[in-house]
Amino acid sequence: MIIHFYKFQGTGNDFVMIDNRNSDFPKENTSLVASLCHRHFGIGADGLILLENDEKYDFRMIYYNSDGKESTMCGNGGRCIVAFAKLLKIINNKTIFIAIDGEHYAEINNENQVKLQMKDVDVIRKEESYTFLDTGSPHHVQLAENVNNMDVKSEGASIRYGQLYKDKGGANVNFVTPLGNEKFAVRTYERGVEDETYSCGTGATAVAIAMYHQEKTKERDVHLQTLGGDLRVSFDVENGVYTNVFLIGQATFVFEGKVEM
């Protein structure tokens, strides 16, 4: 089987992108997806994304983690599929598409900066040592004295598989260090990848909202420093409900090719 693919990355969060408008890709073959994402025996990626037709929207996004399993929303993947759709000439500079967590509006400029609208957030669990919220994917947000000195993989895994989330399918884990009133350093352990990633879009979104909710910032336009680059998250908030949530950053085409599997 020969598969035509494209590779995109958003602040170092990288994806195998496949145009599946003809429905040729064997979507239930989790081992194939995992093989394509494998960094030594495949193309290599944090996840795989299918772009498909949809009657009501410009396109549909189907996202798989690198373990081969279909997963919840991926913010950086959402930004990358917008850039992919523009490359395929499906859209121009604006789009509304559908993903597993509902519809998303997005804009892309000529420098491939994508402004992606995320889901509203109206439930936030604030505990003494962490905050939990769902921004399309479930996220644990925890302050750290210096994220640069952390073993994110081991500490993230201990929380992801620990008592808090073991009966809930796990959670993504974000460690955060304030860098100023509106800027935070973030490192993220992603479930499904089961490792630290260079960046996580739903994680950055969760951190921005959690930091505002915890009164660590008064800004509603928050800058996030990740290993793979900088992201912005803007939002409105009223009566504890976060709306008009936008994840903003570059989405970059890396290369395309064909692979025989």
Q: Active-site positions?
A: 74, 200
In the annotated binding site, the residues are 13, 65, 75-76, 172, 190-191, 201-202
How confident is the model over 80-96, as pLDDT tens digits?
999 999 999 999 999 99
Indicate the DSSP class of residue 119. Answer: P
pLDDT band at 168 (very low <50, low <70, confident <90, very high): confident
Quote the mean pLDDT of the chain: 97
How confident is the model over 241-253, as pLDDT tens digits?
999 999 999 999 9
Complete domains list, the chain, with CATH = 2-118+251-260 (3.10.310.10), 124-239 (3.10.310.10)
In the annotated binding site for substrate, the residues are 13, 65, 75-76, 172, 190-191, 201-202
Residue reference for tokens 């900088």 = 230
Integer Cα distance of 184 and 261 in angstroms: 41
Integer Cα distance of 173 and 190 in angstroms: 7
Check whether 25 has a pLDDT greater than 90.
yes
Sign of CA dihedral 194, 198, 199, 203: positive
Q: What is the pLDDT of residue 166?
A: 85
pLDDT band at 214 (very low <50, low <70, confident <90, very high): very high
Residue reference for tokens 């395309």 = 256
pLDDT band at 169 (very low <50, low <70, confident <90, very high): confident
Write the single-letter amino acid at 74: C
